[in-house]
Amino acid sequence: MRFRDYLRERRGRFLIFLLCAALFLFTFFLYRLPIGAAAYPSALCALALLIYAVFDFRREKRRLEALEKIRRAGPAVCDRLPPPENSLEAGYQAILRDFLEERARAEEKGRAEFEDTIQYFTLWAHQIKTPIASMRLNLQSEDSELARRLQSDLGRIEQYVGMVLTFLRLGSDSTDYVFREHDLDEILRPIIRKFSGDFILKKLTIDYKPPRVTVLTDAKWLAFVIEQLLSNAVKYTFEGGVSIYLEEPKTLCIRDTGVGIAPEDLPRVFERGYTGFNGRMDTRASGIGLYLCRRICRNLGHRIWAESELGKGTVMRLDLSEATRVTD
């Protein structure tokens, strides 16, 4: 609270004082009395009022700071409220206490419901993996184009299940990150093998230059990001292929020869729910994948950005040189 704001809030009281002083001066003027006899006491009263205002401002500021701490901390510190000076303030404090208690109950209920949701979807994800694994085993015994297509569809189902769990876990207070030095090649190879059927099915090439570096990261969460980026590269590439390579010092690049991203869409591709022109052409797009990638990269301390030219392809870059976690 600034002193100027305080004066604005108390302007009614100061205006009344000025009005009273003006009435005294006007009365003295009407009776042809010396104006100084009224002006001098008025000036002294104004000085006294100013001194009072300074001390009252400091007191009011302390009270507001105490209320701000209570607003942040919740009902547990309601007993530290400044003593009410009148019945109106006592009523406001009672309302504040009731509100904070209600908010605490609502937050606790929301946390409990969110944890129940996470537990349910976690159980659902583990349960649905069983029939997926069974179908994959049945399809492995058959080498046909239909079998390869079905295996590709199963891979996308698994990916969507992983996106659901990731979306829920990112909003949970119990999200865990384990930072260690990892060989980047060991993270990349299983992901590339996972999409090998899609490359064969779409007759795309894969140019992979194994990176000879280690990175400080969480392997599980970084693998999710790379998988999303590679999935998008394969999804929107219909001829040509995908290149995976490292730029110095530790920037992982995933380049495709796909449809590219429109210039007006490029600044917004990492926004939640934004699909752009490509998403409108493909109604299955949800606009969640890249949004999750950006959130995870922020939490891992990595930087992600896209460069693209419409009709010529896209390159997604991951700067893995640092790992300073940013709270989401």
Q: Is residue 148 part of a domain?
A: no
Is it the case that residue 79 has pLDDT exceeding 60?
Answer: yes
Whether residue 83 is contained in a domain is answered as yes
Q: Which domain holds residue 74?
A: 3-103
- Give the Cβ contact number of residue 242 at 10 Å: 23
Please give the distance of CA 120 from its chain centroid, rounded to a whole number.
Answer: 24
Task: Please indicate, yes or no, if residue 111 is contained in any of the structural domains.
Answer: no
Residue 308, by phi and psi: left (phi above 0), alpha (psi -120 to 50) or beta? Answer: beta
Q: What is the pLDDT of residue 213?
A: 92
Both 212 and 309 in one domain: the answer is yes
| Spatial separation of the C-alpha atoms in residues 239 and 6, rounded to whole Å | 68
pLDDT tens-digit series, residues 211-231: 989 999 999 999 999 999 999
**Domains: count for the chain:** 2
pLDDT tens-place string over residues 136-185: 787 777 777 788 788 888 888 887 887 777 777 776 655 678 889 999 99
Tell me the CA distances in angstroms from 24 to 12, 40, 43, 51, one per residue in order: 19, 11, 12, 22
Say whether 209 sits in a helix, a strand or coil.
coil
Give me the pLDDT at residue 171, please.
Answer: 64
Query: Do residues 82 and 190 both lie within one domain?
Result: no
What pLDDT, on the 0 to 100 scale, is given for residue 327? 40
* 326 in any annotated domain: yes
First to last CA, the chain: 30
Q: Which of the listed residues 103, 135, 155 is the one where a domain comes to its end?
A: 103
Q: 203 and 89, same structural domain?
A: no
Q: 236-290: per-residue pLDDT in tens? A: 999 999 999 999 889 999 999 999 988 888 888 898 877 766 554 554 556 788 9
